[in-house]
């Protein structure tokens, strides 16, 4: 599944408990949509733990990626909150949705820490961060 095709309706499935619970991939996509910087930083840390010799390249690449994507990071966070607000029937429900988003982020980050990214993923990620292939506009174009 491409991030590009992920609708907010599908995203909301990731927030539901029980039998309607989403796949790990959907949960990761939802977490990434609402806080791409936090998830990207966690992926970078997982890759650095895997190969510490790449830490300076990853640090420079992450700084560059963050600079190129700052406005997109804010746009996605704002869209996430706006969509959750629109679908909430009360402030309490909105707070529940936001707590669920935070849990998804925590789960995605914990999964990366447990699995320690493999070297091929880390190589692709480093290239994407350095070249702009992983820029958010490529996955989440503005509406």
Residue 52 has pLDDT above 90, yes or no: yes
User: What is the pLDDT at residue 57?
Assistant: 97
Give the span between the Cα atoms of 75 and 140, in whole angstroms.
10
Residue 10 lies in a domain: no
User: What is the pLDDT at residue 99?
Assistant: 86
Residue 142 lies in a domain: no
Residue 141 lies in a domain: no
Model confidence at 60, pLDDT cuts 50, 70, 90, reads very high
Q: How big is the chain, counted in residues?
A: 143
Residue 13 lies in a domain: no
Instruction: Compute the C-alpha angle 5/115/123, nearest 5°.
Output: 70
DSSP string, the chain: --GGG--HHHHHHTT--GGGPPPHHHHHHHHHHH-HHHHHHHHHHHHHHH-GGGHHHHHHHHHHHHHHHHHHHHHHHHHHHHHHHHH-SSHHHHHHHHHHHHHHHHHHHHHHHHH---HHHHHHHHHHHHHSTT-GGGTS---
Mean pLDDT value across the chain: 80
Residue 117 has pLDDT above 70, yes or no: no
Q: Which domain holds residue 86?
A: 22-134
Residue 110 lies in a domain: yes
- Total domains in the chain come to 1
Task: List the one residue out of 121, 117, 135, 115 whose CA is nearest residue 61.
Answer: 135
Residue 91 lies in a domain: yes
More confident residue, 100 or 132: 132
Residue 140 lies in a domain: no
Residue 112 lies in a domain: yes
């Amino acid at each position: 599944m491409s991030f590009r095709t992920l609708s907010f309706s599908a995203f909301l499935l990731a927030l539901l408990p029980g039998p309607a619970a989403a796949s790990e991939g959907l949960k990761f996509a939802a977490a990434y949509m609402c806080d791409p910087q936090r998830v990207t930083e966690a992926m970078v840390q997982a890759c650095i733990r895997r190969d510490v010799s790449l830490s300076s390249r990853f640090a420079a690449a992450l700084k560059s990626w963050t600079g190129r994507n700052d406005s997109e990071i804010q746009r996605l966070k704002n869209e996430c909150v706006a969509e959750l607000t629109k679908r909430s029937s009360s402030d309490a429900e909105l707070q529940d949705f936001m707590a669920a988003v935070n849990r998804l982020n925590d789960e995605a980050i914990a999964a990366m820490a447990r699995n320690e990214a493999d070297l091929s993923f880390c190589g692709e990620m480093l290239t994407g961060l350095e070249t702009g292939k992983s820029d958010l506009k490529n996955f989440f174009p503005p509406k």
